[in-house]
Every structure is written in C-alpha cells, then in structure tokens.
Amino acid sequence: MWTSEQECLLIAKYKEFQSDIDGTGNSAEANKRRNSAWDKTRDAINTSFAVNYTMKQVKKKFQNIKGTLREKMSEHKKSLNQTGGGPSNELKISPCEELLHEILGETRGFFGEPNYVESSPTALPKTV
C-alpha cells in the first residue's frame, strides 16, 4: 500500500526526471535514458521508505495517480458548467496532486486544454 509521502516522492522524482521519462524517440539510447530515470525513481522510493517496489509497480502507480487526477479535474470542470443556482463543487486535490497538476497541466495540455491558461476555471492558485 502506497503512502501519500511515497506518492509525493514519486511525483517529485517524475518532475526531476521528466525530460528523460517523457523524452521523444524509440531509439535504444532513448529507452535506456527512460529506464534509467525510472530506476532512479524506484531506488529513491525504496531507499527512503524501506520498501521494495519494482519499476513496473512504480510506473503503474504513477499512471494511476495521473488517471485519478485527470478524473478529478474532469468532474470539477463539468461542475463549473452545471446549472441549478447552487455553488459549484470545490476542487479537492492533495498537495502532491497539485504539484502534478502544475507539472502536467502547464506543459502538455494534460487536462484537455490545448494551451493551459493561468486564468482558466481549472487553474490552481500559485503558492508563494
């Protein structure tokens, strides 16, 4: 069972190695860089928390975190467009999910917005 601290470290390591993990190309060299980044991520988590996750488990957990965040953002966006006079549902995401939102939302149109804009309804306030 993953803890929130482990998930936060996973997201922080993804940010650190994002260019290698998301790098383009299917060459042997690109795959080597990608696998090395995931290995370093796995090793950091295993060492920091005295666990023994495999690279496959770490990658799967990251995909699950991204999917959950995408679902939350989609539901929030839908609630903003609903009618009925009541207040819209508040977006409830963890600090780690907020970090992932900043990483993915701004860099790749992750949430279905081709050009993420700070003033969009799904934008999160910047922390100082």
Q: Give the per-residue pLDDT at 58.
A: 98
pTM confidence score: 0.73
pLDDT of residue 128: 38
- Is pLDDT at 81 greater than 80 in this prediction? no
Q: Using one digit for the tens of pLDDT, what is the confidence trace for 42-64?
A: 999 999 999 999 999 999 999 99
In this predicted structure, the answer to whether residue 26 has a pLDDT above a threshold of 50 is yes
Residue 116's pLDDT is what?
38
Could you read off the pLDDT of 84-112 as tens digits, one per residue?
Answer: 666 666 777 888 888 898 888 754 444 45
Long-range contacts of residues 61-70, Cβ cutoff 8 Å, at least 24 apart: 61/2, 61/7, 61/10, 62/10, 62/11, 62/14, 65/7, 65/10, 65/11, 65/96, 65/97, 65/100, 66/100, 66/104, 66/110, 68/97, 69/93, 69/97, 69/100, 69/101, 69/104, 70/110, 70/111
